[in-house]
Amino acid sequence: MKVEEISEQQFYTFMKTYKDMYHFMHDELYYDYMKNNTTVYLLGLIDDMDNVIGVSMLSEYPLVRFFKAMTTHSGPLILDYTNDKLEYFIQEISSFAKEKGAASLTFSPYMIYQVRDSEGNVIENDERNNHEVIHLFERNGFKHHGFTRQMIFEENIRFQSVVDISGSLKDILKNMSSSTRYNTRQCEKLPLKLKYLDESEYDRFIEIYKDTEERLQFNPIPEHRIKAQLRNLKDKSYIVMSQIDLNEYIESLEKEFDELSQEIEALENKENKSNGEKRRLNEKKNLVKSREKRLNEAITHRDKYGGLIDLSVGMYYYNNNEMVYLYSGSYPEHSQYLGTNFVTWEMIKKAKELGLERFNMFGITGNFHEGASDYGVFKFKQGYNAYIEELPGTFTKVFKPIVLNAQKLIDKVRK
């Protein structure tokens, strides 16, 4: 084997058919964006038959004065993966980065360290576990950033919730928790609409996302970064908004209310009612109270927000391996209309249409207790029977410690 620079066409060809896990930051579309903004290198792992069996995208970012560091965009990617191939590849990538004068080199490999069940418990005997990868990086001079349990802008995620959608839609629905399954079915009874957003509507997307980010106290992602991802990944993304037509909803509730009222009147006027009829009468009265409450709420919302209201937004990136729920946001005052449940189910169906078997609901902190900042997010994803993939984290190798220390000092002063 050998490692050498490859052409763009070789990179595009490899990515077109690569079926294993890869992060959106190693996508061809992201490469097209990065190459116009900084220096990017494409390295290939070449076998003895001169076939490209692995690729790595490296980009530079500036440090103090004229120095630079390099990052590998959650790569590398390797066909028929083995730890031996990875170790050889990162050794050669390190040598390349050092020759190019990098002060440091960072890896955040998009691969599984260990698998956890939906509750967060490690599945010890899962064949996908790869605990050796930590030692592999460390013995090659990389410092592990640690087994972090947080979601911050400076670090890639370490925990992600993944739904197996290889079965039928009926099977996927059956595997949901009872409450999530109920909400999903309820979505089909509501006049919900799915709107695909174009670039002129990205501000609406960001407004709802930022509202959610602040409410849930997530580490803030710069608006310009979100817009860049929306724009540059749009050819492999669905950027959507859920809406409800309150006029249509109110009309359907009024119709249902009238029908229930007529049924109640008929039962009340009937003499010598059976026990079953008495039971149905009480059930109908309870339904009337429920529908009356919904109707009043809907009328209040229509008076305040208008006939067609926005509920939630989401960005769903897809590649050859999975669909990823990258960003989402919603208005809590409209949660009863189940906009997020609706969009999630519609995108699961879309992923099935694309022939995908993984629906990646993406990042969680890795804290699975009720006091966790993202516990509500974790429970929402858990409702879809999502298991958890724990990634190994981030590793950095320093070639010029004096430069890195100077940069850290400057960053500290700026804060």
pTM above 0.85, yes or no: yes
CB 11 within 8 A of CB 31: yes
For residue 218, what pLDDT is reported? Answer: 79
CB 204 within 8 A of CB 241: yes
Taking only the tens of pLDDT, the chain with its 415 residues reads 999 999 999 999 999 999 999 999 999 999 999 999 999 999 999 999 999 999 999 999 999 889 999 999 999 999 999 999 999 999 999 999 999 999 999 999 999 999 999 999 999 999 999 999 999 999 999 999 999 997 765 678 899 999 999 999 999 999 999 999 999 999 999 999 999 999 999 999 999 999 998 888 777 889 999 999 999 999 999 999 999 999 999 999 999 989 998 989 888 888 888 888 889 899 999 998 988 999 999 999 999 999 999 999 999 999 999 999 999 999 999 999 999 999 999 999 999 999 999 999 999 999 999 988 889 999 999 999 999 999 999 999 999 999 988 888 877 777 6
411: which 2 tokens? 């960053």
4: which 2 tokens? 């050498």
Q: Residue holding tokens 């949901």?
A: 176
For residue 349, what pLDDT is reported? Answer: 98
User: Helix or strand or coil: residue 293?
Assistant: helix
Residue 103 CA to residue 62 CA, distance in Å, equals: 10
List Cβ neighbours of 194 (8 Å cut-off, separation of 6 or more).
240, 241, 242, 342, 343, 346
CA atoms within 13 A on the CB side of 182: 4
196: which 2 tokens? 């695909």
E strands of 117-252, at which residues?
A: 143-144, 159-164, 192-196, 237-245
User: Helix or strand or coil: residue 385?
Assistant: coil
Strand partners, 60: 70
Please report, for residues 27, 129, 155, 220, 323, the alpha-carbon distance to residue 22 in angstroms, rounded to integers and kept in the order given: 8, 17, 17, 24, 11
Residue 199 is classified by DSSP as G
Strand partners, 5: 43
CA geometry: angle at 191 spanning 187 and 192, to 5°?
A: 60
Average pLDDT, the chain: 94
Digit-coded pLDDT (tens) for 315-366: 999 999 999 999 999 999 999 999 999 999 999 999 999 999 999 999 999 9
List Cβ neighbours of 257 (8 Å cut-off, separation of 6 or more).
288, 291, 292, 295
